[in-house]
Amino acid sequence: MVGRGLLRELPRILGELCPAHTYAVISDSRVAELYGLRVIEEVRAAGRRAELFTFPCGEWNKTRDTWAELTDALLHAGIGRDGAVVALGGGVTGDLAGFVAATFLRGVPFVQVPTSLLAMLDAAIGGKTGVDVAAGKNLVGAFHLPRFVLTDVDTLATLPKAHIAAGMAEAIKHAVVADASYLEAILADAPLIRERDLPALERVVMRSVTIKEEVVAADPRESGRRQVLNFGHTIGHAIEARSGYSLTHGEAVAIGMVAESTLAESLGVAAPGLTAAVRAALKTFALPIAVPEELSDADLLESVQADKKVRAGKVRFALPESIGSLPQRADGAWTVEVGPEAILQALAASR
Ligand SMILES: NC(=O)c1ccc[n+]([C@@H]2O[C@H](COP(=O)([O-])OP(=O)(O)OC[C@H]3O[C@@H](n4cnc5c(N)ncnc54)[C@H](O)[C@@H]3O)[C@@H](O)[C@H]2O)c1
Ligand SMILES: [Zn+2]
């Protein structure tokens, strides 16, 4: 469900689509203050039990430790198998609260109420949950589908503009892997989006959700087509983790898309011009497009090789052929196996 002012419908929709004895609303510290307390009050006013559970905001808190603290807190509060989790926040909250729901008492139902642009148009859709570990991002987790996803675009009014840009990195990814006309629409709406115009943002959320939903429905467990959504993420995750999470997920993915487009061109998968078009789109939102100087090629390669998309030691990349097109390869795979030299070259060329 995507719309304006939907948050006030949450208590009713929870009762209809996810009935539970108690709702454990999980939010990071910032979203808890902005929306969590209000949601708790409204759910209680509708005659249902609800408790707010919070953790400090920031990607560096998407960890097993925070998962342990949250699950202990739910147990302490007496949430039972008839409880349900409400993930209210950005992608960090969605991944973490979703993983709590997937594992708590062997799994309780949950719903996604995304409040960041990135979570609305990408992270809240598709049922991937999990935490980051020392070896890399999202390496411990579970598939756990939410009962529903309720997106109130009005909550974007308080989202810092840097996080609007971060969300646009994933929107550009959707366009590059699936729909060239979507990229044109994004570029045409860019001045409005940058100013956080809510109708323009709602259009972006709708188009991205439609693309992601279709791809995920075709391949929920990522054995094939869903891999196209990893474009920019193999190198992006390495950059994000190696930056010590000083870059946001969206920023790291932006740089990752530049490096992986470069790789696609150098391997002859893409015709020349892809990287320039990706760079130009990202620059429209002032997103970073160069691998940070302080991260060495060797360290990044090591992180790339630790990624979960590695099969039998070989790194496989989802590489577009052109804007809007990432088709299945002649061998039936959706990804291309790439050796270390080509990865190092693409990193060096993306500085
Ligand atoms: N599960 C998936 O399929 C999937 C897909 C893409 C990304 N992700 C994950 O999503 C995470 C990134 O998500 P993110 O960029 O939303 O980060 P985030 O959850 O940290 O949110 C970004 C910041 O915005 C704040 N915020 C959120 N909503 C707000 C609002 N309405 N008003 C004011 N502030 C608000 C948060 O407190 C946080 O400080 C990464 O961990 C990434 O791995 C998951
Ligand atoms: Zn992502």
Query: pLDDT grade, residue 193 (50/70/90)?
Result: very high
| pTM (whole model) above 0.95 | yes
Sequence length of the chain is: 351
Contacts of 88 (CB under 8 A, 6+ apart): 25, 26, 27, 31, 32, 35, 36, 39, 97, 113, 115
Instruction: State if residue 34 touches ligand 1 by the CB under 6 angstroms criterion.
Output: yes
User: Could you give the domains of the chain?
Assistant: 2-155 (3.40.50.1970), 160-349 (1.20.1090.10)
In this structure, which amino acid lies at residue 250?
Answer: G
- Report the alpha-carbon distance of residue 24 to residue 335 in Å, rounded: 39
Atom 34 of ligand 1, residue of closest alpha carbon: 159
Structure tokens at 271: 């015709």
Share of the chain above pLDDT 70, in %: 99
Residue of 138, 144, 163, 230 marked active site? 230
Q: Decide if 170 is catalytic.
A: yes
Place of tokens 């010590």: 244
Structure tokens at 116: 């960041």
Q: How far is the C-alpha of 94 from the C-alpha of 98, rounded, in Å? A: 6
pLDDT (average), residues 200-211: 98
| 230 catalytic per annotation | yes
Per-residue pLDDT averaged across 197-215, rounded? 98
Backbone angles phi, psi at 52, to 5 degrees: -100, 130
What's residue 309's pLDDT? 67
Tokens describing residue 94: 């969605």
Ligand nearest to the CA of 128: 1
pLDDT-derived band at 199, boundaries 50, 70, 90: very high
What is the token pair recorded at 56? Answer: 């400090």
Pocket of ligand 1, candidates 34, 249, 308: which has the most ligand atoms within 8 Å of its Cβ, to mutate? 249
Three-state SS for 181? Answer: helix
Q: What is the mean pLDDT of residues 236-248?
A: 96
In this structure, the number of other CB atoms found within 10 A of the CB of residue 348 comes to 12
For residue 316, report the distance from its CA to the centre of ligand 2, in Å. 17
Q: Which atom of ligand 1 is nearest to the CA of 92?
A: 19
pLDDT of residue 307: 76
Q: What is the spatial distance between Cα 341 and Cα 331, in angstroms, rounded to a whole number?
A: 23
pLDDT digits 0-9 by tens, 120-153: 999 999 999 999 999 899 999 999 999 999 999 9
pLDDT at 314 (0 to 100): 78
Task: Output phi, psi for 65, to 5 deg.
Answer: -60, -45
301-334 residue pLDDT tens: 999 998 766 766 679 999 999 999 999 999 999 9
- In this predicted model, what pLDDT tens digit does every residue of 62-93 receive, in sequence order? 999 999 999 999 999 999 999 999 999 999 99
Handedness of CA 7, 32, 100, 209 (dihedral sign): positive
Q: Which one from 137, 173, 212, 225 is the annotated catalytic residue?
A: 212
Report the chain's mean pLDDT, rounded to a whole number.
97
Ligand closest to CA 170: 2
Which residue's entry shows tokens 């799994």?
Answer: 107
**C-beta of 102 in contact with ligand 1 (< 6 A):** no
* Ligand 1 site, residue 90, Cβ cutoff 6 A: yes
**pLDDT score of 313:** 63
